[in-house]
A and B are shown apart, each in its own frame.
Chain A
Amino acid sequence: MPPEPEARLNRPILLSALVGAAAPLVLAAVGQAQTGPAVIAGLAIAVLGVFLAQRRAETPAAPVVRPVVAAPPDAIPYATILEILDEPVMIIKAGEPGESADHRLVFANTAARALFRIQNLNTRLVTAIRNPQVTELVDEALFGGMAGHGAFDTGGAQDRSWRVMARPLAGPLDGPPLALLTLRDQTDLRRAERMRADFLANASHELRTPLASLSGFIETLRGPARDDAEARDRFLGIMQTQAERMARLIDDLMSLSRIELNEHVAPRGRVDLSMAVTDVVDALTPVIRDRGVTVDWTPPPRGVASIEGDRDQIVQVIQNLVENALKYSPGDAAIRLEVIAPVPGDASPGRDMEGAGLTLLTPDHHAGEHYAVLRVRDSGQGIPRDALPRLTERFYRVEGQKSGDRSGTGLGLAIVKHIVNRHRGGLSVESLEGRGSTFSVWLPLAADPAPDQPLS
């Protein structure tokens, strides 16, 4: 489609025209009156121009695809646009040189007023922002004519991180210097950075603990316990446990990274969920017998719970959930496994027990989708309500359950979540302290007439 004539009148030209038109207006307005709507409006237009130009400078120029709406510039309420921008924008008027506490706000848009609880304009800047770095940036913009940027946190309960930019603003020659202050929310970015750092720290910490115990025992075996056959046997037993723990941890880390790599690739293949559960229960029979736990499992008729999925991964999900249930069950307790299908997608999977419940993963909604639900219920000590949202965090363990013979890596539920997400399924947990927990996984059923079509 050929571009229309207006399309060539792209944004830079419009902008420069706009700022050019606005500048004299601002000069005149500020020169004549100290305050008043005229100043605000004039400044608002100039600032909007600078602001848009600034945004533009940060994003690479893209070809104009859509024609610019051909409305006369003065029909657009620029001050209103500035007012409702999501980013906080402020204009600051310089106080006496050297008196940084005397800078005043000439303008602050809605976002800025809400963020800093600004009641009325012409108040001092420090009463809104007292961060010394921001004060310095503003000083430099006002008296040094230098643009600069920095970062600061607003603190408090809703701690938010901001990138702050200050730049000088052309004002009247005989008036006080002006500066523009804009903020951009960077909270999510900071949080992601922090999570990555925490993950590295946690992973190395988890690996170091068994390693330290291994090297400690090696030292003892080469030294004091060299000729003590009994101690040697005992130590070698512990060393083997620790080495296995390390191996498990590394296995889990590797499978987690593999799953994450493939998370956006839909799985191919058919799995019968109830058959997979039977297989897992069979494989775990020795462990179940050792712990003296009874497993209550009645498979539904074959073929009812046939899902599209990667068999190994589905088995891993079931295994992790059943192993968790085993770990947190006292001896002679019962674990109940249940597969229910088909469950319509718009009906919630339903509650299994009293107590707190939380959905840890919700699949995108597809109309007419039906699910197979797997429920794993234990009668262990339960999970405190405030720990529920953090269950799928890597290396997170519920307080007070870390010690003892529990041999988990803290990655099991993270793996479950990522696999289920890859299968476009959901995950929820319900728990009542002292009574036990139920984990539910729901996975989309395979569409009926779909025998696998070979690609070649």
Chain B
Amino acid sequence: MNEHIVRSFEEELNQLAAEVVRMGGLAEAQVNDAIHAFARRDVTQAQAVIARDKKLDGLEVDIERAAIRLIALRQPMANDLRRAMAAMKIAMNLERCGDLAKNIGKRTLILVEAEPAGPVTRSIERMGRLVASRLKEVLDAYIANDVDRAVAVWASDTEVDEHYESLFRELLTYMMGDPRTITAGAHLLFVAKNLERIGDHATNIAEIVHFEITGQEIVSDRPKMDSLSQ
């Protein structure tokens, strides 16, 4: 095979990864902005988050198209195939993160109409910051091709779960204290749930990155908290 062609194929894969990173940056900003808008009751920013989600959807379509084209034309094998597939799957997860951020934005628009729920809002904001930092970590791991960092994100998922569970209890107490807060409380619960799911997508991305680099699934058992589902 001509060396020129090989290099440009490599270049194409790098470009695809760069597009994923760019999309990751946008998804990250969406999540951060959604949390900020929620915590500060910022209507303008919440609307901006909702409007910007289209861009994320567009990027996912672009990446998927580029990946399929690359697979069709180059018929990559092994490592290269894994890279193309990883780009596509990560884009899918990022798009879901964006949807969840958009949903937080929509709920923020409803929540600003209600009385502020000080301490609970702060707890949710703390959880949001934790989730955002996991998303950042896993994207950094993807950029740096760093398996260890990806595994670290994957292993620390329980932290978010713990936050979610304590928030769940806090919200129940809050709603039981005053039935008038139930509408707002239900929305707050969904905001927390959305954040927890963004955390799950970060975990998914960590698994994809692990498979992309090593060609193997992560095997060890992750401690799982599911007292809520009992």
Contact = CB atoms under 8 A, between A and B. Distances in A.
Partners in one complex: yes
Interface string A300-329: 000000000000000000000000000000
Contacts of A201: 118
Given A102-B15, A117-B144, A132 B118 contact: no
A155 B133 contact: yes
A101 B144 contact: no
B26 A101 contact: no
Interface size class of B (residues with CB under 8 A): 20 to 34
Please indicate which of the listed interface residues B22, B24, B133, B140 has the most CB atoms of chain A within 10 Å of its own CB: B22
B139 interface: yes
A156 interface: yes
Interface stretch (A123-131, A140-148, A336-344, A368-376): A123-131
A294 B144 CA distance: 64
B114 interface: no
A71 interface: no
A132 B22 CA distance: 7
B123 interface: no
A153 interface: yes
Nearest to A133: B29
B6 to A, nearest CB: 19
A130 B144 contact: no
Contacts of B133: 155-157
A132 B18 contact: no
A131 B30 CA distance: 10
Contacts, number: 52
Contacts of A102: 15, 18
Given A102-B15, A205-B118, A130 B137 contact: no
Interface string B21-57: 1101110110010000000000000000000000000
A278 interface: no
Nearest to B55: A132
Contact of B18 (A101, A129, A153): A101
Contacts of B143: 127
A159 B19 CA distance: 25
B136 A156 contact: yes
Interface string B117-144: 0100000000001001100110110011
Contacts of A205: 118
Give chain B's interface secondary structure class: helix
Given A132-B26, A156-B136, A126 B18 contact: yes
A205 B133 CA distance: 30
Given A156-B136, A156-B137, A130 B32 contact: no
B136 to A, nearest CB: 5
B21 A131 contact: no
A155 B18 CA distance: 20
A124 B132 CA distance: 23
Nearest to A127: B143
Nearest to A100: B22
Contacts of B14: 124
Contact of A101 (B15, B29, B118, B140): B15
A124 B143 CA distance: 11
B15 A130 contact: no
Nearest to A128: B143
Please indicate which of the listed interface residues B18, B21, B29, B118 has the most CB atoms of chain A within 10 Å of its own CB: B18
A122 B14 CA distance: 13
A202 to B, nearest CB: 9
A381 interface: no
A132 B29 contact: yes
Given A102-B18, A132-B25, 10 more contacts: A101-B18, A101-B21, A117-B144, A124-B18, A126-B21, A127-B18, A130-B24, A130-B25, A155-B28, A156-B136
Interface of A: 99-102, 117, 124, 126-127, 129-133, 135, 153, 155-157, 159, 201, 205
7 contacts: A117-B144, A126-B22, A127-B18, A130-B22, A131-B28, A132-B25, A133-B29
